[in-house]
Every structure is written in C-alpha cells, then in structure tokens.
Structure 1
Amino acid sequence: MFLAVVTAGSLSAAGRLLDLPPMQVSRRLAALEDELGVRLFHRTTRSVSLTAEGETLVPYATTMTEAEESARGALSSSGAAASGVLRMTAPSVFGQFVVVPLLADLLQSHPDLRVDLDLSDRVVDIVGQGLDLALRVAPLADSELVARRMAANPRVIFAAPSYLRRHGRPSTLADLQAHDCIVLQAVPRWPVVVQGELKRQRVAARVSTTSVDAVRAAAVQGLGIAMLTYWDVLPQFATGSLEPIELQDAVMEDLSIWAITPTRRYTPARVKVFLDALQTRLDSGRSPKERRPL
C-alpha cells in the first residue's frame, strides 16, 4: 500500500490502483506510520509527497514486495503464473509493432496480470518512475541497472522498389551522395562502420522528420533512401514494399534490443513471463543468419 501511494501520487489514486476506498488507504497509511514511529508523507488535500523517512523506506519496501512475489511464484502450483501490474516502457514504434501484439496471448494465459505500458522514445528513469522493465534500442550508458540483450537490431538502409527502379541502387558510400535521402532528425548523419571504424556519414536529405513512422511511410512512397533499425522495417521487408540496401565498402552500426530491470534479485514472475514471450517473438523475427545464440 505504501508503494502504491508513492507510485500514484495521491491517496485517491492509490485507492483506485488497489481497488480500495481512499479512507481505508489513509487509515492503513496512518497505522504504518504509527507502527514505524515516523511520518512517511507530507499530505495536502490533493496530493502527497515523501518525507526523508519515506524516501529511506522506498528501496526496503520494494525489496520486501518483490521477495514476496518471487516466493509466491516459486511455491505456486502453477510456477509460471504471473499477477499484478507489469509497469514497463518501450520505444514507440517497437512497442506498437512488437510489444502490443504480445499482450493478448500473455493476458489470456495470466488472467491476474495487468499491463501499464509507456510508449516513449525518451530514456525513462525506471527506478524513479517505479517501473519493472524498460526496453531500449540504443547504445547503453554505464549504470547500475541490469541489462539483458534480447536480439540484434542493426541499422539498415532501404528504399522502395519504385525508387530503386527510377534512380538505381547505390553500392558504395559515395553513391549515396547522388540520391535523395529521408533523414530522422535525431540522426542527421548516418552511423556507418568503415574498415572497423564508426563514422558519421552526411547525406543529402530531401525529407527530414522527427518521426520514425514518417520516415518509413515516406520511403514506402518512393521519396528516397532511408535508414532505420531492422525491427522498425521488418514488416515492410516481409511484404516487399521496402528493400534493404547493402553497401560494398561499409556496414551499418550494429545495435541491439535490451531489456533493462532495476535489480537482478527478486525478479517478479510478471517480468519473467513477458521476457520469455518477447524472446520467442524476437527469435521468430530474425533472419536465418541472425538465428544463433546471443
């Protein structure tokens, strides 16, 4: 209950999360404070905020609840059962294409499981936001978080068959300079590896946008050559509406899909069953040359 108030930010919101009347939440919170002999929250009529003592309690309370969930899962007759709220974040396009389609079977298999999914391309503080899991497609900065590599996700360049028929297929980095390119504004120069060294290649951007969806849509319409990651364009590769382009003198930067969790200990069953389902999906989407132990 204490952690629900921390996450929700008010007693009434915590009550909705726990399916309890706000008055009952308030009474239980007061009883906890009486038992501990400290005030855990500063209260106003609309919100609550942690005291210094409350801040101190958060990691201990988190460890206690995670340990209980792990114990119940291990001792349950259905060891794979998952329950509670899986709070996670994922990149927008990857989340829509890969994560959301997993949820129907996952929730049907685990009736007591609920999912709170934040689709965002920003890097979310999963500890500060109280999240169980973050999926990321980017080089990882050093941190104390636990990272599990799920699959390769290299950058790829591609174009529509209609564009390639009109303008030809580039075969070298120099050839790109004669082509119209569609550029994601967050990556104005394309990361390529030449003779083992990563360099940033400037291209002639005829279309520039902030949206991965827009880059892909413009490429499908034949407006130019684009660069995204493999999983961003896998459906279009499968249907033939986009074709990958390989260069003779360079390869694209090799990224990966990472699952980030706050701690290695007491991983809740809800996280384990989701990651198992995600791994199965990612394995099925690899090209034959990528289907190897990661």
Structure 2
Amino acid sequence: MQIADVRIFLAVAAAGSLSAAARQLNIGPMQVSRRIAVLEQELGVRLFHRTTRSVALTAEGEAFSPYANTIVEAEESARGELHPAPATASGTLKLTAPSVFGQTIILPFLTTLLEQHPDLCIDLDLSDRVLDIVGQGLDLALRIATLEDSELVARRIAGNPRIICAAPHYLARHGMPARLADLDEHQCIVLHSVPRWPVLVHGELQRRRVNARFTTSSVDAVRTATLQGLGLAMLTYWDVHEQLRDGALVAVVLEDAAMEDLSVWALTPTRRYAPARVKIFLDALEQELARRQQGQGMAPAA
C-alpha cells in the first residue's frame, strides 16, 4: 500500500469528487481514478460509490477512513521526528471539546492561532458527549473529567476544580451556606450527568444528594440558570471563571468540605508522535489558559 495512494483516498473523500481532489493535489483526474482503483484492489474492497458527478464513501470506505488518517499522520510524525519540527502548523486539526469550554476558551483564541498559521484549518466538534477519537478520525479530544484507564495518550493542560457558586441576588435572599449541611436548605441546579454532587470530606470523596429545583443535560443551561438566580450550582472553574471575575457569580466555600479537583485533559490516539499541528495547538491553549489565570486569585495551578 502506497502512502501517496492513501493521501489521494483522503483527498477524494474530503472533496466528494475525483476532479476536485485532482485539482487540490495538482494531478490529473485519470491519475486519481487509477490510484484509487489500485488501492481498492490491494484492499480487496470498493471504497467509493461513483457517479458521473460525484463519489461517496462505501461502508468499507467509511471503515477505512480513520486508519487512512492514522497512516498519513504516522508518516508525518516520523518525518517530524527525523527533521526539526516546523514553526507553523498545516493541515486540518480535527478535535472535540465540551461545549461551554469550547465556546468560552477555544473559540476566542482561534482567530489569532489561524492568523499565525495560515495553512492550518480547524474542524471543531463541540459536544459534552464522549466521542470515539480513533473511530471518528479525530486528532484530539479535550475533556474535563476524572480519566479512566485507556489506550489514549493523556496530557494535562490545566487544573479545573469544581466550584459551588450562585448569583449575588440569590445569596442575598437565601443566605450564604457555610457548611455542607446548609446545602439542604437551598435549591440547587443539577446537571444530568452529575446527579449527586461530589465533595471531599476529611479527604474522602462523597456524592451528596441535593435539592434539585432545576435539572438539565446542558452545562450552558446550568450556568444560565445560576446567573438568573434559580439556585446554587456546581460547575468547574473554566465554565464560570469570567462570571466569578466580574462578580456575576460568587463562589461558595464550605468550612467542612472541599470540592473535587478536576483537570483539563488533552487526549490523543495511541501513537508515539502526534502531528505538529496538535502540539502547536496544545501549546497555544496552555498559553491562553495561563494568560487568563494571571491576576485571578482563584485560578487553578496549571
């Protein structure tokens, strides 16, 4: 199997036609068609449904696509190991991130990043679901959670502790809770994925049931409801750091309990060397988080 043929396969899959891929690759359409035919013969399957105007991946082509990405990226990584890393990133960086983190952290700094790297493209999936990185051909997943054992490569980007918070006008009406038991007297806003609030009592993790006045599957909806004064919420630092800084939300510190200390993790598929665009993006993200942390007393250590 020729890596050049795999690159042509990926170009055709992305462009949706042989002629468009040929123009991108600066080769003739007939050459593209021949190389795809050679690849199909080697694999023993048909990779594309062909019509006079367009092509579409077959089920076998869909299944081969993530492996094709891995093959191409492995070659890029090998070249990067043998030669100095490029100063600029190129190609398409495919990543997923939690919705609120992506909207408040990633999107604002992408303009500068793309200006610095004109050959870089970003394909960003904002989702609170856990996606299959390898199966969907992703370069990178940003996650905020306690990581389970897996074959993925994990890199810690920054601390991200859980924080109980509320709007000032809610606390003015209902009072500031001082101890864990005081939560029983308050209405709370609960995320479906965290029905019981994890808290540390004498160093041991407990999951405490709270009075859920409003429940939702969306982190953004929890934050909005908290700002509107519907009750106390437990969110992570990077979800609400701007609101805490501006005073729109107030952190609740309990005397007899501490919050779980999570982190922002970057997960990449299992391979020794990642494409240069992954490293450049993660370095830029770390710098962005460090910049935002400066001057904020509650900022977690990176």
Identify the TM-score tier after normalising by the shorter chain: 0.7 to 0.9
| Conserved 8 A contact 1:11-1:26 | no
The farther-off stretch of 147-156 and 276-285 is: 276-285
Aligned CA distance change for structure 1 residues 278 and 42 (closer, same or farther; 3 Å)? closer
Native 8 Å contact 2:196 2:209 kept in 1: yes
Deviation at 1:265, TM superposition (A): 2.0
Residue of 87, 93, 105 corresponding to 2:94: 87
Corresponding position of 2:140 = 133
Does residue 71 of the first structure (1) align with residue 75 of the second (2)?
no
- Partner deviation per Cα, 1:52-71 (whole Å, 9 max, x = no partner): xx85x975872454333552
**CA, structure 1 residues 16+32, in 2 after alignment: closer, same or farther (shift >3 Å)?**
same
- Tell me whether 1:2 sits opposite 2:12 in the alignment: no
Equivalent position to 2:122, from 115, 121, 131: 115
Per the alignment, do residues 44 and 17 of structure 1 end up closer, same or farther by CA in structure 2, a change over 3 Å counting?
Answer: closer
Give 5+ residue unaligned stretches, structure 1: none
Distance 2:69 2:213 in 1: 53
Letter in 2 for 1:50: E
- Contact 1:183–1:227, Cα closer than 8 Å, also in 2: yes
Distance 1:239 1:74 in 2: 48
Deviation at 1:28, TM superposition (A): 2.1
Distance in 2 between the 1:185 and 1:82 partners? 38
Aligned partner of 1:66: which letter?
A
**Structure 1 CA distance, aligned partners of 2:66 and 2:225?**
47
Return 83-92 or 208-217, whichever deviates more.
208-217
Aligned length: 287
| 1:186 CA drift (Å) | 1.8
Check the 8 A contact 1:87/1:116 in 2, yes or no.
yes
| CA positional deviation for 1:288 | 4.6
Deviation at 1:290, TM superposition (A): 5.2
Query: Residue type of the partner of 1:68?
Result: E
User: What are the superposed Cα offsets for residues 200-233 of structure 1, whole Å, 9 maximum, x if unpaired?
Assistant: 1111112222221111111111121111111100
Tell me which residue corresponds to 2:107.
Answer: 100
**What is the TM-score with the length of structure 2 in the denominator?**
0.84
Please say if 1:274 is aligned against 2:274.
no
Root-mean-square deviation (CA), in Å? 3.0
Report the counterpart of residue 57 of structure 2 in structure 1: 47
> C-alpha distance in 1, partners of 2:11/2:204?
44
- Distance in 1, matches of 2:227 and 2:122, equals 33
Q: For residues 11 and 258 of structure 2, what CA distance do their matches in structure 1 show? A: 44
Equivalent residues of 2:8, 2:32 under 8 A apart: no
CA 1:102–1:11 in 2, change beyond 3 Å: closer, same or farther?
closer
Give the counterpart letter for 2:57 in structure 1: S
User: In structure 1, what is the equivalent of residue 224 of structure 2?
Assistant: 217
Distance between the aligned counterparts of 2:220 and 2:263, measured in 1? 20
CA distance in 2, matches of 1:176, 1:263: 43
1:234 equivalent in alignment to 2:241: yes
Equivalent-residue separation in structure 1 for 2:100 and 2:115 (angstroms): 24
Tell me if structure 2 keeps the 8 A contact 1:67–1:266.
Answer: no
Alpha-carbon distance, 1:5 to partner: 4.2
Q: Deviations over 1:230-261 (max 9, x none)?
A: 11001101110000000001011111100001
Corresponding residue SS for 1:232: helix
Change (3 A) 1:132 1:15: farther
Q: Give the distance between the partners of 1:280 and 1:109, measured in 2 at CA.
A: 14
Alignment partner, residue 208 of structure 1: 215
TM-score (norm 1): 0.86
Alignment of 1:157 onto 2:164: yes
Whole-angstrom CA distance in 2 between matches of 1:92 and 1:58:
24
Q: State the secondary structure of the residue aligned to 1:227.
A: strand
Provide structure 2 residue ranges, at least 5 long, that are not aligned to the other structure.
51-55
- Please state whether the residue corresponding to 1:86 is helix, strand or coil: strand
Q: How does 1:14-53 map to 2 (within 5 A)?
A: 19=24, 25-33=32-40, 37-45=42-50, 46-50=56-60
Change (3 A) 1:135 1:13: farther
In 2, Cα distance between equivalents of 1:44 and 1:194: 59
Separation (CA, whole Å) in 1 of partners of 2:233 and 2:43: 58
Percentage of matched positions with identical amino acids: 53
Measure, in 2, the Cα distance between the counterparts of 1:255 and 1:165: 29
